[in-house]
A = this chain, B = another copy of it.
Amino acid sequence: MAKVFDAAEVVKHTSADDCWVILYNTVYDVTEFLPSHPGGTKIILKLAGRDATEEYDPIHPPGTLEENLKPEAKLGTVDPATLPKPNAGETEKVKIAAEPPGMQSLLNLDEIEEVATKQMSKKGWAYYYSAADDLISKKLNNLVYKQILLRPRIFVDCTRCDTSTTLLGHKVGTPLYVSPSAMARLAHPHGEHGIAQGISQFGALQIVSNNASMTQAQIVDGSAPGQIFGWQIYVQNDRKKSEVQLARINKMSDKYKFICLTLDAPVPGKRELDEKAKDEPSSVSAAVTVGDSAKRPGGGGIGQQLFFGTASDLTWKTTLPWLAKNSPLPIVLKGLQTHEDAYLAMQYAPQVKAIILSNHGGRALDTAPPAVHTLLEIRKYCPEVFSRLEVWVDGGIKRGTDVVKALCLGARGVGIGRAALFGLGAGGTDGVRRTFEILQAEIEACMRLLGAEKIDDLGPKFINSRAVERDIYDGHPGLENVGMWAKANL
């Protein structure tokens, strides 16, 4: 029979040499595990000696404890009566907000985000809302769609409207898909599974984050026939770990149809809002930078958890062959931001089947270009990419018209990240469903009003993107490339 501890006993073990924590009423000795914690040692020490369930739960999928701790680390249970009463004013807690309004009363994504902002914990909100530096790319991602005008045609029979299409050869009900984003349970207990359920009726695809807060099996559990998923990988410095993960996905290829390799955040961006929220004991944060932690401003080690162990040495020549060896699934490369990289990616077809133009929701490098810029660059400099690869985009989608504009420019899939999470935060599965319901209705209304019946009907003739075209990269004609000047003789 398991030993029962008083909280007062547990609280004595708070050093790096002797560190206990309480999780789900069980007492663990995590001393040995400390050095290998992906989030760093410090964050655990902050929680040492007390009940860390609230911080631990929403960001660790089930099985994490079992996978990482030896059986003998489990010391016993805690006597609940001895635990301190929760502080009524505790800011860390998920706010017991006023009951959210009925999802059907919400008319657009901004209203849903507003409700989510009230429902979610400050920390969770900060993590989702934040972006790099001054949020310039985040805002530009959306603004650039507003700068594109539509060109509706008249006298076209618009009785029928069909948003179905194919992604990687799979039939989907809509070009909209859910981008990979970490730890959905920070938004709502329904987590990634709630997202899967919410988008089910729309036939939409979902890419599951490498940092999901539920297991891959849990997420797809109960999904609709034909509903498909991709799995995002952040390659680990310890390649073996990644290989184990790939092997697990390979076995679920009835649901997981591709591997999405994220490339736009080999090191973490500087998300100050997120960083500000870090003082609350939590393992959610993004660091200012990698490298020598002594030089690292602000983070104090906490902020780097999610990136801990992530490889920053991926290359075209080494990573793709390694992936080929470890998974038969097609590869979708995420995070391309230049036509040059799109052109390079094309050389790796058919292993690479699609590319996602993305600046990581503005969360990696501030003033990185929005996907629309890259889309226009490709159209201008290497349109053949469109015939060799599927081109997907994400970032900044707020309206059905935004989706349609991306499709007109050649995108085949259009991802939403924060919008799905805010939908989840606002109302769990129902909130996600409402988010898609709104976007789908807006997409259909837009297509009808344009005079387009099918996704394939969409093309550049339906949009006027001059206001954006004049801002895309043009190779600096008339400016000599002096990148090498430093080698000249002074």
A interface residues, Cβ below 8 angstroms from B: 104-108, 133-134, 136, 146, 148-159, 161, 165, 169, 263-270, 272, 275-276, 288-291, 295-298, 300, 312-316, 319, 333, 335-338, 340-341, 344, 353, 359, 364-369, 373, 376, 379-380, 383, 386-390, 399, 401, 408, 410, 412, 434, 437-438, 440-442, 444-446, 448-450, 455-461, 464-467, 469-474, 476, 478-490
Contact = CB atoms under 8 A, between A and B. Distances in A.
B485 A476 contact: no
Given A333-B154, A441-B288, A471 B480 contact: no
Given A157-B315, A263-B154, A264-B154, A269 B107 contact: no
A352 to B, nearest CB: 11
Contacts of A136: 146
Contacts of A319: 155
7 contacts: A108-B133, A133-B442, A149-B368, A151-B368, A288-B442, A456-B487, A457-B483
A445 B297 contact: no
A156 B315 contact: yes
Contacts of A165: 486
A334 B313 CA distance: 41
Contact of A445 (B161, B288, B456): B288
Nearest to A399: B133
Contacts of A446: 365
Given A367-B146, A459-B482, A472-B464, A152 B449 contact: no
B399 A291 contact: no
A162 B9 CA distance: 49
Nearest to A478: B380
Number of copies: 4
Contacts of A314: 155, 157
A425 to B, nearest CB: 18
A154 B479 contact: no
A124 B400 CA distance: 27
Q: Which of A268, A333, A434, A464 has the most chain B CB atoms closer than 10 A to its own CB?
A: A464
Given A154-B333, A489-B387, A483 B466 contact: no
A138 to B, nearest CB: 13
Q: Which of A156, A401, A476 has the most chain B CB atoms closer than 10 A to its own CB?
A: A476
A373 B298 contact: no
Contacts of A467: 471
Nearest to A168: B490
Contacts of A289: 441-442, 444-445, 448
Q: Which of A104, A155, A387 has the most chain B CB atoms closer than 10 A to its own CB?
A: A155
A474 to B, nearest CB: 6
A152 B364 contact: yes
B445 A386 contact: no
Given A288-B441, A366-B401, 4 more contacts: A149-B473, A157-B314, A169-B490, A267-B445
